[in-house]
Amino acid sequence: MALISKSGKIIDKEVVNLDKDKSSKYILSVISDYISRYENKAEAVGVGIPGIIKNNKIVYTCNLSLEDPYFIHKIHTKLPVYLVNDAVCATIAEYKIIDNSKYDNYSLVTIGTGIGSGIIFNKMVYEGKNGYAGEVGHMIIKKGGLKCNCGRTGCFEKYASVSRLLEITKLNSLGDLFNRLEKSPRLAEIFNNYLDDLADGLANIIMINDLDMLVIGGSLAWFGDNFYYILRAKIAERLFNRTSNEVKIKFAKLGNDAGLIGAGLIAYEFEQ
């Protein structure tokens, strides 16, 4: 949670651990408490949610227990509140703050607990008719594959999320993985196979959307220097008539702050 200026500067930030309690009651309480402290300094509230959002209502989310579509009405505040997909928040922040809105067609894919994305076409956020645009984590990459939290099988995020990578390596963090990677053939093979799955999904996104730039965000991006050229080559192999140098991908710069900054920028925009 954070207090954000109109220019995207973080004025105050507080981190809340949801590992022990992901209930909607607890989430509402910490959000309402934080807002109450800064209500007289803010113009609006932006809330990033990992799921499908349409007309300021939650349509679907599978990684948090927020089934109530009218979630925002239970936030105790007199300020206007705007719900936005969390990956869209991160996309807006990177696009405006880091890239100065210079690309026409652009997407940021967040690789973390799950996988999500925000899409920009002709310099405008594209959400689709029902808010489903950008739900790339639930794109099927393996028919009859692993069961996903969404109820389907073979979803992209079941193979290429950070959660999956840590599960198959049996490690506690990405830091542990990259510290051990060069000395462990077993981990090197696992990670190479993981990059194949990641490249499958990212190549699909590039082909479907014909992007000027694809940005990779989430916790995986912090370690991007370790595998950038390998991943770019794997993506190029999956695209038509593209060399590695023609694959326009990069890693996000704002880290975990991207979603916070984007939610604040979007809230300000809605109030204009």
* Predicted confidence (pLDDT) per residue in 166-212, tens digit: 999 999 999 999 999 999 999 999 999 999 999 999 999 999 999 99
* Partners of residue 2 on adjacent β-strands: 13
User: Is the pTM here over 0.85, yes or no?
Assistant: yes
Q: Which residues pair with 47 in a beta bridge?
A: 83
Neighbouring residues of 192: CB distance < 8 A, sequence distance ≥ 6: 230
Residue 251: which residues within 8 A CB-CB, separation 6 or more?
215, 216, 217, 221, 224, 225, 228
Burial class (CB in 10 A: 0-12, 13-18, 19+), 186: exposed
The beta-strand segments (E) located in the chain are: 2-4, 10-13, 45-49, 52-54, 57-60, 81-85, 106-111, 115-121, 124-125, 213-217, 249-251
Confidence of residue 65 (pLDDT cuts 50, 70, 90): low
State how far the Cα of 266 lies from the Cα of 116, in Å rounded to an integer. Answer: 18
pLDDT of residue 79: 93
Q: What mean pLDDT, rounded, does the chain reach? A: 91
Mean pLDDT of 138-142: 96
Chain centre to alpha carbon of residue 174: 17
pLDDT(121) > 70: yes
Report pLDDT for 167. Answer: 96
| pLDDT mean over 142-149 | 94
Q: Is the pLDDT of residue 64 over 70?
A: no
Model confidence at 41: pLDDT above 70: yes
| Gap between the Cα atoms of 158 and 100, Å rounded | 33
